[in-house]
Every structure is written in structure tokens, then in C-alpha cells.
Amino acid sequence: MDTKELLKKVRKIEIKTRRLSDHLFGGEYHSTFKGRGMTFSEVRQYQFGDDVRSIDWNVTARYNEPYVKVFEEERELTMMLLVDVSGSELFGTVDQFKKEVVTEISATLAFSAMQNNDKVGLILFSDEVELFIPPKKGKSHILRIIRELLEFEPESNKTNIAEALKFLTNVMKKKAIVFVLSDFIAEGYADTLRIVGNKHDVTGIRVYDEKEEYIPNLGVIQVQDAEDGSIRLVNTSSKQVRHNYWRYHMERVDYYNNAFTKSGSGIINCRVDESYVKKLLGYFKRRG
């Protein structure tokens, strides 16, 4: 992708997702994800109805009239986007690849965080951490994240979600809002997720294509594994083959749902032909 085409794509995503974050998600994001606590702001004269426990006795003694301490929510947060860039993300049978939907969701979340003056960081992962962008504020930083989501080419096509979660634990010492975006065609991450969920506010966003749920009867077809590159012939006219395919898919979905639920994390399931706007808004409102 040349520079001109890349900038055009970045601008297109910025216009679409920033409009969504400005009009739809700014307030929902703010009410869903709270700050780390209350911090001291100022003292003022006592007013009828104030909690007597908030009286500042030192200032009260100095001025010989009651003063109270005023606290405000410490709003600044850090959002981390953990984005799967393995080979299976380059799949789609409707209008978009899974990767394109993941990029739009990530950009929308990032602009929502920027609106609330929060930091945003990015981890791109396959079966290893491919790229880490430390959390920062500002529009130029968000645009850099979008550029990487659009043009980054991973070294590996395979997936290891646990490896990305372990890396997150090592680099993020303070509590963060964490979104893991993947198709979750993987296992073996439940134990690591439980550890991460005890420290961070984690949400899994599963982006998938309808054709991953079932395989149609097309006779004998040649298929290629997007992650290991292997090619094989599959007899899709066999009911047993189609059932095994569906069962394999459902086992991964059940693992994802159970792993995130048991770790106390949030879950969003979004098919590529569904509105991720409605999915995100519904999730924020349920949590808010």
C-alpha cells in the first residue's frame, strides 16, 4: 500500500469512527468506565446538607467557621487494544474482512478514549507479540494506531492469545481498560485471562464471519488453512463432515464465552455483517 492510498484509508476510517465516537460513544464510554477513585480538589465553606464527615477540621479551626473538603473523580484512564493479526483475520464472505471490522471497532474505541482524555496503547499479536505501542494521548497518536492496524504485516500467521495476555501483564503495572479483539479460533488462554481479569477491566470482542459457523454442501472442495498454510480436500456433501465442522466452531465459541465469563470479563460477539455500533452501545449501556 503506497503512502497516498494509506493516508486516504486512514482519513476514511477517522471520519467514520470519530463521528461515531463523538455522537454515540463519548458519554456511554465515560459512564461505563470509571476512574481510579476520588481525588482531593479544594475546600469550600460548609453548606446545609453537606456530609459532616467531609469537614476539614484544620481549615475550620483556622477560619473559625466550618469548611468541607471537595473531591472529584480521577478520570484519567488507560485503554489497551489487544488486536489479533493472525492469518484467520483475513477472511470474509460478505462486504468486509474480519480485519477491517476489527480496525473500525478499534478506531471507534480509541477516539472514545481520546474524547475522555485517556491514554490509548496497542498490542498486535499472532502467536507472538508483533508490535507494542505504549499508551499515549492525542489525535496524532490515535492516527498512528489506525495506520498500524491498516498496514502492519505480521511475521506469523498463527494465534496465541495467552502470549499477548502475558505480555500485557508485564508491561501494564496499573489497572487498564483492555479490549481483546479476535475471532478467538483458539484455546489455552483461560488461565492467563483469569490472572489478567483480576487486575484489569477486560472485554473480549469476537468478530466472526457467518461462514465460520457452518460449511455449505458444495461437494468436494479444496480448502487452505489460513494460519498454517496446509491444503486439503474436504467432502462437504458429507453430513458428518459438516457436523464436525460446526461442532469444532462451537467448541471454540463455548471456550471463549466460558473463559471470559469465569474471569469476570465482558463479552461482545459481532458478526461482520452485523452493526458493531449497536453491539458496542448495547454493551456500554448494560455496564453503565
Length of the chain: 288
- Tell me, yes or no, whether 143 and 225 share the same domain: yes
For the chain, first and last CA: distance in Å? Answer: 40
pLDDT at 287: 82
Domain match, 162 and 55 both:
no
| Count of structural domains within the chain | 2
Q: Could you tell me if 142 and 66 lie in one domain? A: no
pLDDT for the residue 35? 53
Task: List, in order, residues 6 or more apart from 94 with CB less than 8 Å away.
Answer: 209, 210, 272, 273
Query: Looking at the structure, do residues 59 and 186 belong to the same domain, yes or no?
Result: no
Residues 139 and 4: their CA atoms lie apart, in Å, by: 19
Q: How far is CA 216 from CA 110, 184, 207, 212, in A?
A: 37, 22, 20, 10
- Mark which of 74, 103, 130 sits at the end of a domain: 74
| Secondary structure class of 173 (helix, strand, coil) | coil
Q: How confident is the model at residue 221, as a pLDDT? A: 85
Encoded amino acid at 146, one letter:
I
47 plus 128 within the same structural domain: no
Average pLDDT, the chain: 87
Instruction: Indicate whether 73 pLDDT > 60.
Output: no
Q: What is the pLDDT of residues 186-233, one digit of tens each?
A: 999 999 999 999 999 999 999 999 888 888 888 888 887 777 778 889
Residues 168 and 268 in one domain: yes
Both 16 and 122 in one domain: the answer is: yes
Element (H, E) at 12: helix 3-20
Tens digit of pLDDT for each residue in 129-165?
Answer: 999 999 999 999 999 999 999 999 999 999 999 999 9
Q: Where are the alpha helices (DSSP H) in 116-156?
A: 139-151
Report the distance separating Cα 94 and Cα 184, nearest Å. 19
Give the residue from 81, 82, 77, 83 showing the smallest Cα distance to 32: 77
* CATH code, domain with 209: 3.40.50.410
| Residues 254, 259, 261: CA angle, nearest 5 degrees | 95
Same domain, 258 and 180: yes
pLDDT score at 24: 59
Distant-in-sequence, close-in-space partners of 270: CB < 8 Å, separation ≥ 6: 101, 105, 205, 206, 207, 208, 276, 279
Rounded to whole angstroms, the Cα distance separating 233 from 221 reads 6
Q: Tell me which of 20, 49, 74 is where a domain ends.
A: 74
Q: In a 3-state reduction of DSSP, which class is residue 174? A: coil
User: Quick one: 110 and 214 in the same domain?
Assistant: yes
Last-in-domain residue among 74, 97, 132:
74
Residues 127 and 150 occupy one common structural domain: yes
Which residue, chain included where needed, has cell 468506565?
33
207 lies in which domain range? 3-32+78-287
Whether 60 and 128 map to the same domain: the answer is: no
Q: Do 46 and 179 lie in a common domain?
A: no
Q: What is the pLDDT of residue 214?
A: 82
Bridge partners, 204 (sequence order): 180, 267
What are 125's three cell numbers?
A: 499479536
Residue range 110-130: mean pLDDT, rounded: 92
Averaged pLDDT for residues 257-280: 94
- State the pTM of this model: 0.80
